[in-house]
Amino acid sequence: MENLTRRRLIKNAGLIFFTTLFEPYFGFSATPKASKTILLVSGWQDVNIGDIAHTPGLLNVFQTFMPDTKIILWKRSKGEQVGKLLKKNFPNVDIIYGNVDKDKNVENPEVMEALKNADVMVHGSGPLLVAADNLAFWMKHTDKPFGVFGTTLQNPSEDHQSILKKASFIYTRETLSIEHLKKAGITGDHIKFAPDATFFMDIRNDQKGDQFLKEAGLEEKKFICVIPRLRYTPYHQFNPNNNGWSEAKIKEVETVNAAKKEEDHAKLREAMIAYVKETGNKVLVCPEMTYQVDIMDELLIDPLPAEIKPFVLKRGYWFPDEAASVYRKTLAVLSFECHSPIIAAVNETPFFYLRQPEDTIKGHMYYDLDFDDWVFEIEQTKGSQITDRLREIWTDLPAAQAYLKKSMDQVSDIYKQRVESVMELS
């Protein structure tokens, strides 16, 4: 019997999964009678390549699993460049925009047409029920099904709970969210773990990525990428209304960031120094969020010994397709941010997630996928521990790649299990 590739396994499992899930609503039988339409709400902000990556990841899920399904993307952020990126890679996806008002109505006729034509609405991956208003609009104007796909649901508000209680399926991006839902009285077999959709983001920009590597003098597998992060993202610094934060909130954020930034990044610098000294190779400091371009020098470059600095380069803000191409060529990605490690993993590159306690429960998905050896709870971690584990990678890359593959294979297995659980309910 022919061995199925990982993509084929996922594709076959996904087709059965969605066929079974939507059968009560769409009249699907073993063979779908006609193509269906999904209204996907996603795209939360464009200042973070992780938030951007959610959308192409989930679009790839649908196009891989359900190639005949029409997809309408109701995109929340309105950045023109990201819109072009999505259109380039998903030319058959219709992209619409439109804000929901306080009465849960939308003026844009394209949204109303999408409501009419779509068979199901899906809330994409994110840090919470970001598009609660969009789901409330759907609930007000139709009784067709909706669900949540790969979303963190930590301590959902009462308004969010009222929506989730009516969802046809809830797939959380880490198992801890399921426990939070239980505390809110939301239970059922329709609630399952499904990894963040970024695990399916397969777009790259090799032309741009390779050009950057050539100009920077970075050779394949002879450099590492490192990503800084403050304990709290300083949204007040780049949002016009200070992100709606009070003066007290801003002071708290800035105080914690100032107190922890050196302590955290000194541990990452220790690994950078050892890597350069022992291999003679280079380090690329790069951002996952726009603000990190401004903290690279202070936290990761300026404090380095003089003899190390010539081996360290930095990269300005980029989009996830170019980041994916660079991560594919690097030896390893060491990141305080949560999504660059996922983009690396998708591209078969080892990674470390240096987890700060303020970064919500989303990081637990790495434990759910058995990446325990590559997750470092930063307050319980010494720089030497990060260095020792990194040394294992540069001295035995095949072993690290095998470890990565073993855990990544679980992603397809998880979706296969979702199919089986849904079939048991039908």
The total number of residues written for the chain in this structure: 426
392-405: per-residue pLDDT in tens?
Answer: 999 999 999 999 99
Are residues 106 and 243 both part of a single domain?
no
Q: Residue 162 gets which letter from DSSP? A: H
Same domain, 279 and 378: yes
Which region among 11-25, 362-376, 405-419 has the lowest average model confidence (pLDDT)?
Answer: 11-25
Report long-range pairs for 104-109 (Cβ below 8 Å, ≥24 apart): 104/133, 104/136, 104/137, 104/140, 105/137, 105/140, 106/137
Assess if residue 1 is contained within a domain: no
Q: Domain range for residue 127?
A: 6-201+410-425
**Res. 415 pLDDT band, cuts 50 70 90:** low
pLDDT band at 17; cut points 50, 70, 90: very low
Sheet with strand 223-227: strands edge to edge: 312-314, 282-285, 223-227, 332-335, 351-355, 375-377
Q: What is the CATH number of the domain that holds 211?
A: 3.40.50.2000
How much is the pLDDT for 34?
59
Residues 246, 339: one domain? yes
State if pTM tops 0.85.
yes
pLDDT surpasses 80 at 24: no
Question: In this structure, what CATH number is given to the domain that contains residue 101?
Answer: 3.40.50.11720
Helix/strand/coil for 150? strand
CA distance readout (Å), 368 to 19, 194, 220, 282, 414: 26, 10, 30, 32, 10
Please indicate, yes or no, whether residues 35 and 98 belong to a single structural domain of this protein: yes
CA 196 to chain CA centroid, nearest Å: 5
Residue 403: inside a domain, yes or no? no
Residues 68 and 100 grouped into a single domain: yes
pLDDT in tens, 207-219: 999 999 999 999 9
Asked if residue 400 belongs to a domain, the reply is: no
Q: Residue 30 pLDDT more than 50?
A: no
Least reliable range by pLDDT among 61-70, 82-91, 183-192, 264-273: 61-70
For 144, other C-beta atoms within 10 Å of its C-beta total 17
CA 200/CA 167 separation, integer angstroms? 23
Q: What is the pLDDT of residues 230-251, one digit of tens each?
A: 999 999 988 778 788 999 999 9
Are 145 and 224 contained in the same domain?
no
Per-residue model confidence as pLDDT tens digits over 107-120: 999 999 999 999 89
Q: Average of pLDDT values for 44-71?
A: 88
Q: Where are the beta strands (DSSP E) in 173-255?
A: 191-193, 223-227
pLDDT (0 to 100) of residue 183? 96
Say if residue 31's pLDDT is above 80. Answer: no
Tell whether the model's pLDDT for residue 281 goes beyond 80: yes
Question: What is the tally of structural domains in the chain?
Answer: 2
Packed helices 320-329 and 206-216: angle between N→C axes, nearest 10 degrees? 60
Q: Write down the mean pLDDT value for the chain.
A: 89
The answer to whether residue 269 is domain-embedded is: yes
Task: Give, to the nearest 10 degrees, the angle between helix 397-425 and helix 383-395.
Answer: 100
Q: Is residue 24 part of a domain?
A: yes
Contact predicate 370/377, CB 8 Å:
no
* 171-193 burial code (b ≥16 CB/10 A, e <16): bbbbebbbebbeebebeeeebbb
Question: From CA 24, how far away is CA 26, in angstroms rounded?
Answer: 6
Confidence tier at 416 by pLDDT (50, 70, 90)? low
Share of the chain above pLDDT 70, in %: 89
Neighbours of 325 (CB within 10 A): 22
Q: Looking at the predicted structure, is the pLDDT value of residue 412 above 70?
A: yes
Kindly report which listed range (163-172, 185-194, 235-244) carries the lowest average pLDDT score: 235-244
Give pLDDT tens digits for 370-383.
999 999 999 999 99
- 176 lies in the same domain as 288: no
pLDDT at 62: 82
